[in-house]
Amino acid sequence: MAAEIHSRPQTARPVLLNKIEGHSDTVNAAVLIPKEDGVITVSEDRTIRVWLKRDSGQYWPSIYHTVSSPCSCMSYHHDSRRIFIGQDNGAVVVSEATVTQTNAHQNRVSDMVFSLESEWVVSTGHDKSVSWMCTHSGSMLGRHYFTAWASCLQYDHETQHAFVGDYSGQITLLKLEKQTYSTITTLKGHEGSIGALWWDPVQRLLFSGASDHSVIMWDIGGRKGRTLLLQGHHERVQALRYLQLTRQLLSCSADGGIAVWNMDTQREEAPQWLDSDSCQKCEQPFFWNIKQMWDTKTLGLRQHHCRKCGKAVCGKCSSKRSTFPLMGFEFPVRVCDACFDTIKEEDRTPLATFHEGKHNIAHMDMDPSRGLMVTCGSDRIVKIWDMTQVVGCSLATGFSPR
């Protein structure tokens, strides 16, 4: 199908199409049913619901199923019509013609992925583990333990690589096999627990969001360790989706923030922060540099860092603030006076747009072919959005938002 790429006006924003209400507790996951006006939700109220749009324009549950424990996450495979639900008690429930249950974890299941190619369900849990099981036999194939809660997961179906984020802020890359596995590497860059991951198998890019309010793009395919930092959220980043066609990244945070990042541009890596005992501009000692303070008979200064060059500087030498979207800084950050003078006005042109979802967003799903997005969270409300103007992409199939 041919794709139409539309220009995005500066005033473009998500359009709220519908609100689904009726849950009595947090909605932990909601997914759009492809090619249908339907949404599947799982909740802390122990229900699995399939909502279909009626002639009235409202969504009503056509299927309502109650399970034994709160539902913490979900993976839906449309072609086989199978729903995989993770529960608070550590069980994984498979809902198809019949409902089966397997105890995959000792504690709450935090995320899960179904792979049709291998007929595996890979899941992470608060028992600090990732496990993978065969859906044909229901048997557990393997398990790996971490030092912290495993919080989120992505899986490459072709290479059988699993990316697991945890509460320590690390992302572990594992190669999964039947009955065994190997640890490939560990990615470290966040200063808080990992809240969301998204893997793009085409460009081989991994995106991670965390409680430090930041998003990092990891260039796995480039094999050069290249990373890009994106900062613009004000709360924990809990949902991510990369749109290959338009090369845009969508990220959602706990305060309802929705960001759309332009990744189809040359960006620069943020520098590593340098260590120093004195300001690397004026050479005044920092407060722990007792020897230089004694020798120069001066009081020590507090250390800061320039976000553009990474140098350790004092407050007097870094009195300016500036945005610098090329490095991912969409709001003003501290820069040294020398770097401030090098930033041109065109360098401050935003490379992201920010919108208000006006509710807690714990999970997000998107259907790029229709330009639809669904969000849900702790306020028990599910929202369906028209994103066609924001992401500027729709397939030429005669679709029009309803």
pLDDT, tens digit only, all 402 positions of the chain: 233 333 344 468 999 999 999 999 999 999 999 989 999 999 999 999 999 999 999 999 888 889 989 999 999 988 888 899 999 999 988 876 556 778 889 999 999 999 998 899 999 999 999 999 998 888 899 999 999 999 999 999 999 999 999 999 999 999 999 889 999 999 999 999 999 999 999 999 999 999 999 999 999 987 667 799 999 999 999 999 999 999 999 999 999 999 999 999 989 999 999 999 999 999 888 988 788 888 888 888 889 999 999 999 999 999 999 999 999 999 999 999 999 999 999 999 999 999 999 999 999 999 999 999 999 999 999 999 999 988 864 433 333 333
Q: How many helices (H) and strands (E) does the chain have?
A: 3, 34
Q: Distances from the Cα of 35 to the Cαs of 307, 365, 370, 397, in angstroms?
A: 45, 14, 9, 12
228: Cα within 13 Å, side-chain hemisphere:
23
Domain ranges of the chain: 15-266+349-391, 268-348
Q: Which residues contact 286 (CB under 8 A, 6 or more apart)?
A: 276, 277, 278, 279, 300, 301, 302, 303, 312, 314
The sign of the dihedral angle between the CA atoms of 384, 388, 391, 393 is positive
Look at the block and give the residue holding tokens 């290959």: 244
Between the alpha carbon of residue 118 and those of residues 121, 155, 164, 182, 204, the distances in Å are 9, 12, 19, 18, 20
Instruction: Tell me which residue of 205, 243, 208 sits closest to 371, measured CA to CA.
Output: 243
How many Cα atoms within 13 Å fall on the side-chain side of residue 283?
2
In CATH, what is the architecture of 15-266+349-391? 7 Propeller (2.130)
Do the domains spanning 15-266+349-391 and 268-348 agree at the CATH topology level? no
Largest CA distance in the chain: 82
Kindly list the distances between the CA atom of residue 389 and the CA atoms of 72, 233, 385, in Å, as whole numbers in the listed order.
32, 21, 11
pTM here is: 0.89
| Segment (H or E) for 175 | strand 170-177
CB contact burial 242-265 (16+ within 10 A = b; e otherwise): bbeebebbbbbbbbbbbbbbbbee
Query: What's the gap between Cα 36 and its chain centre?
Result: 25
What is the CATH code of the structural domain delimited by 268-348?
3.30.40.10
